[in-house]
Structure formats: structure tokens, C-alpha cells
Amino acid sequence: MNEQIIEIDCNNLNEKYSFNKVAKQASGAVLYQCGDAVLLATVAIDLNPVTEDFLPLTVQYIEKSYAAAKIPGGFIKRETKPGDFETLTSRVIDRSLRPLFPKGFHYPVVITVMVLSSDERVDMQVAGMNAASSALYTSDIPIRKLVSAIRIGKIDNKIVINPTFIEQDKSTLDLLVVGSGLDILMIEMCVNASKKDNKQLINELDEDELLEILEISKAAISRATKEYEDGFKDVIKDKIDLTMSEELSDRDLYDYIEKNYKDEVSSAIQTMAKSERNSELKYIEDKIYLDFESRGDIKERELISEMLSAYKKSVVRSLILDKNIRADGRRLNEIRKISIETNILPSVHGSCLFTRGQTQALVTSTIGDIKSAQSYELIGSKSSLYETFMVHYNFPAFSVGEAKRQGPPGRRELGHGNLAKRALEPTLDIDRDITIRLVSEILESNGSSSMATVCGGALALKASEVKTQKLVAGIAMGLVTDGDRYAVLSDIMGLEDHDGDMDFKITGTKDGITALQMDIKLGGIDTKILRDALIQAKEGRLHILDIMEESLNSMTPSQALPSTIVFSIEAGDIPAIIGKGGGTIRDIIDKFGVSIDIDRDANSVKITSNSKDNIIKAKEYIDTIVSPSKKPIMNYEINKKYKGKIKKIVDFGMFVEMPDGYDALLHISKVSKKRINRLDDIYNVGDNIDIIVLEQKGKKVELCTPNYL
């Protein structure tokens, strides 16, 4: 078949799709172009299904350095492990396409999106999503739906559909919606802080405004999917005939469990905690196996486990829909018990142990200077970018009772950390000159650990005395639906996440939403259900925020917090503080054990240290440099011997207190004509020594010992 090019101009995107041009041996492939960005999306399938009851879908979004006319940095000159943006984009595409596969689809599928040419104006997540969807829809895999990705921005208080990547920097809203027709399948949203009249705005969205914007998104998605369906109808490959696995692979076994173990399964679900429930279900599984073994009809344990899990799921859903009863006895809108402890780690800048039910997060906050920022590159960026606020989420296996070694963070860990970062960042000062790193260690998990990270992170920031405008809380919402009936669940636990139809994470302040993430296991979600979920989530969020605010009353500062002082100087004093080749400022840093940052624009000096006394002494020392009148220095006689006292020994010399109390540097090279490697092998702090003044230029005094002459 010859190459077919389809051009689609919709929702401010001018896209070109080339089919039957490249990667022809894949089940589906498209060469996608938008602006100067060119992406190759391919789909491949393994026709040998897995025996387990899950969809083995793998999505990989890969950026090639040559796409931006770059050679990879570092020692190895080829692409290695994916960056965070690649991993997060892979996750977005996966979450959006997974609901399209029919029930019982157990064939391994790999979707690969490669960036071959970049364009700094193009939103690569939208481009990657649309390319992957078109490759899957037109492939020979029996997928009957395609999706469209829409980015919504808010620039100068106006809604913009698919702003360019450059325009997104001006937007106070970042909303990515993926859907098909009028059905929404995936949402990711965060707000961006801005300044107006010298006042910082968080720009939270209230529930009604969000729903209005989602209606705009739905209309845009509907337009796009109609254009795609019309454009791609002649390039869709003949679908291969695949056998879907039965939802219940052994109906008789399922019925046997329902008839003989109904009460035991129901009791395990309703009266036991997570670990006890798992143990009890394993015990029931063993009993069923022995039942059949005693009759000589041996059933595979995997099959028994599968049917027992299916029956357990039906019981959980039936209890919720028929009786409004949740597994742990809570009301549908009830939040689990919350406990909060702050600054429990003595040597940490800030810490919070946040526990909600059987989910527990230990979140720590570490404060560094601006030089501690994480550098990174985007494929379209011309220079390195810097991340001054980081949230790192770790999920060790022991948090769910599993005996596994902890490896590097995976897609889930990066995704949860990124969601928490987007939730909290709008409340931080835009103009901050510090780097902040939050680390969330999940110590126990039974649902909603990412939202525990948000709550614990907001309090850890407070515990480390980082100025935030408002507290942020997070809550995970669930959904169970059966035809016209549905139930929205607040603060879902792991069982409800696994057996439910939606995972909806919402974060915000008392005034509105700062971030959200929604995945739907159904073919879409009705707007009424979405509205109910948002309103119920707001009630839960406000309840959690009340508890968090109450915990602030008992918060005490961490003893490990660094102290900081900022003071103004004259612009002409800056060279004197820095010194020739930076020598003076290095001497001050080494002598007093402080960090010093000079802001040339603001004509200010910031001194930071774990010791307040060191900060005061460093400032007094700087005062003697910039304001000699505060501490006059005597005029020393050149080549005359004086008595001095060693105040501090460093690698490059000693600080010696002169007769007038002024500290001068005796460089290691001026101690002796012979080479000396370590001064502390010869001298001790507090020793009185003879020194000779070789030269004096104002406050700069050069010393040596008699042994040097």
C-alpha cells in the first residue's frame, strides 16, 4: 500500500499524519508532524496471551538527542535511561489508552513513541498522545476507539486551547484532558502561581469553574475525534481476530465459592484490617483447594485465587451499591482517622509523620541554597533549566508487607512525586532564593499514599519554616457504578481502588483546587458523577485541612534548621567582600563555617549557617571590611615581628588574631621555606606564635613566620 498523508487542522493544531511510510512490519505505525516536531509512533502485539488476568500494555516515550541537534552529555555518547519527562509522558499515554482495550484482552502490546525532530513551540505530551492514539486506532489490533489530547491554558484570564509550549509559561492553568467523543478518560491539572500588583496569587480553581472548563475540553475533544475518525477511515488495517479471555474463566468454581464461602468472604472484607484480610483470604483459598483435592478433583491454585478475587470484588461492589457499606465500615463520604506528628527527626530541617488509617507517610524537608537546584534539560530547551523545588516519593515494599529489595524509583514513584510537587508548588514564594527538597517515605500503604505525601509535605514545609501562603491537603476519591447506579467514595483504601471504577486524586487549599489527576477504568465518566465527586472531595479536603491547621498549634521548630541573615550593603563594597579571585569571601566562609550569597541586583548579602553565633561573627567581620570605622585597624610596621594567636587552622593556612584583635590570614606557603602538608600536625588552635607583617594594603595584611625569612 502506498504512503497516505492526512492533514488535520483542529483546536489550534496543524497536524500531519503519514501512514504506510515507515515501520511497516509493526501492527500499526504513523509518522506524525506538528510544526518542526516529528514523532514516530508504533504498535506491536504478541499473539501469545498471558495467563494472568491483566492487560500487559507497555508504553515507552523516547526522546532522541539528535532530534534537537544535540550529542548526549556525559561520558557515554548515546541515550541511556529515560529522563523524568519521558517517564511521566509514557505514564500519561498509558493511562489514557489503557481504558480503550476490551475486557479479557490479555495479549502483550508495546506502544513506542520516538521523538525524531523537536520543536520548542510544540507540546510534546499532546503530540505524543495523538501520535500513539492514531497508530493504535489504525493498527490491526481490534481497538474501535481513538482518543484526543487537549491542553487548556488560562492566559490573561482567558481560556486558550492547546497553547504553544512557550505560551504555557504565561498560563495560570495547566490542564491536560484526554477523551474520546464526549467521554473523558484522563485528566491531569495544576495551577501556576502569578504576581499582580506585587501580590502573589495561587490561582486555585473552584469546582464550578473547573467543570465549566472541562465542558470546553469535552467540546474540543469531540471535534478532534470526529476529524480523526473521518480522516483515518481509509487507512485502518483489517483487524486480526483475537480471542478475549472470559471474565470468569471457571463459572462453576465461582458459583461454588459463592455458595459455600459467602459468609467467610464477607466477614473477611468487613471485619478485618488489610493484612488480616489478606491472610484470611489466603486461608479460604487453601480450604477451597483442599475441598477439591479431597474429592480427587484438583484445581490449580492460580485459578482458585483468580475466582476468589473475582467473587471478593463482586462482594465489595455489592456492599457499596446495595447497602452503602464500605469494607471498613465507613460511610461513603467518611475520612479515616488522621494523626499528625511534626519534627520527630532531630537532625532534619523539617519532618512530618502523617498517618491516615493504614496509610502512613514520613515526609522530610531539606533547605539548601540556590546552588543546590537540580539541573535538567528539555529536548527543546537551548540551555539547562533548574528545579528549585523537588518532591521525591519512595514506596518501599515493606509498606505493603512484601519482602522485596528497594530498587530505583519507577513510573509510579515519579508520577506520585510529580503530582505532589504540582499540588504544593503554587503556595511557595515565586521569588524564593532557596532550594527545597521534600522526600516522602511511605511506611505503610492502604490507598492514597500520594495524597498523604501532599498533606505531610505541606506540614513538613511549615515544620522547616518555609513560608507558604496556605496549607494544601489531598484526597483520593473512588467510584463504583453499575448501570444507572453509582456511589462516590471519599478517601479510598487499596481494596476500593483495585475493585472500583475510578481513581480521582484532588488537592487544594480552603479556597480551591491546586492539582488533580483522574483515571477512569470505564469508557468515560458522566459530568454529573464528576460534579458529585468534586463536591464530595471538597468536603473531605476541608475536613483534612481543619485537622492539619490544628496540628500547627503544637508545632515546635527543628533544632537542625539553618539560620539566615540578610542585610544591605553599598554596591561599591561588593568587590571588597569578594576579594581578589574570590579569596576574601572564601576566607570568611572557611573561618566562620557559613554560606554566603551576594545579590548584586539587590545589593544584599545573605549569610546562612547552622550556628547563629557564626552568622553574627561573619556579619561583624564583613562590617569591618565594608565599614572600617566600626573597627579601626592599626597600621602595622612592615617587617616587624608581632605576637599573634591562632584562631583557626584550615587547609590553606591559619587565621591569626593580631594585637588589635583583627584576624589576618597566614597562608601555608608563608609558614616555612620547606613544604608543609598539614599545619595541624605542627600547630594547635590557641597557640601564640611570632608573626611578621610582610605587607599591608588597608585591611589586607600579609603575614609570614620568622622561619619563612
CATH code for the domain in which residue 584 is found: 3.30.1370.10
Rounded distance between C-alpha atoms, residue 304 and residue 534, angstroms: 38
- 458 and 518 both lie in a single domain: yes
In this prediction, residue 632 carries a pLDDT of 57
- 359 and 482 both lie in a single domain: yes
- 79 and 111 both lie in a single domain: yes
- 225 and 82 both lie in a single domain: yes
Rounded distance between C-alpha atoms, residue 350 and residue 440, angstroms: 12
- 540 and 568 both lie in a single domain: no
- 70 and 88 both lie in a single domain: yes
Helix axes 207-232, 527-551, angle to 10 degrees: 140
Burial status of residue 83 (CB atoms within 10 A of its CB: 0-12, 13-18, 19 or more): middle
Rounded distance between C-alpha atoms, residue 569 and residue 10, angstroms: 56
In this prediction, residue 631 carries a pLDDT of 52
What are residue 161's DSSP bridge partners? Answer: 152
CA distances from 706 to 634, 635, 672, 690 (A): 21, 20, 8, 7
CB-CB contact of 515 with 419 (8 Å): yes
- 287 and 395 both lie in a single domain: no
Nearest to 245 by CA among 98, 96, 101, 45: 101
Single residue among 493, 520, 554 that ends a domain in this structure: 554
In this prediction, residue 2 carries a pLDDT of 85
Number of H helices, E strands in the chain: 14, 31
Amino acid, res. 96: S
Amino acid, res. 375: S
Contacts of 13 (CB under 8 A, 6+ apart): 34, 126, 130, 162
Which cell is 605 given?
548579602
What are residue 363's DSSP bridge partners? Answer: 352, 440
- 9 and 73 both lie in a single domain: yes
Nearest to 115 by CA among 177, 200, 32: 32
- 622 and 516 both lie in a single domain: no
Q: What pLDDT, in 10s, does the model give residues 617-649?
A: 888 888 877 765 445 567 888 999 999 999 888
According to DSSP, residue 74 is labeled S
Amino acid, res. 316: V
In a domain, 185, yes or no: no
- Find the radius of gyration of the CA atoms of the chain: 32
pTM (two decimals): 0.83
Single residue among 607, 630, 653 that ends a domain in this structure: 630
Which positions of the chain have pLDDT values less than 70? 1, 627-633, 699
- 448 and 391 both lie in a single domain: yes
State the CB neighbour count (10 A cutoff) for residue 702: 16
In this prediction, residue 303 carries a pLDDT of 87
- 261 and 359 both lie in a single domain: no
Which cell is 133 given?
492514539
State the CB neighbour count (10 A cutoff) for residue 87: 20
- 303 and 422 both lie in a single domain: no
CB-CB contact of 499 with 326 (8 Å): no
Q: What pLDDT, in 10s, does the model give residues 566-611?
A: 888 877 788 888 887 888 888 889 888 888 888 887 778 888 887 7
In a domain, 180, yes or no: no
Instruction: Give the count of domains, the chain.
Output: 5
DSSP string, 192-226: --EEETTEEE--PBPHHHHHHHHHHHHHHHHHHHH
Cα-flanking dihedrals φ and ψ of residue 513, to 5°?
-90, 135
Q: Domain range spanning residue 298?
A: 251-323
What are residue 513's DSSP bridge partners? Answer: 205, 508
Q: Residues, the chain, total?
A: 709
In a domain, 246, yes or no: no
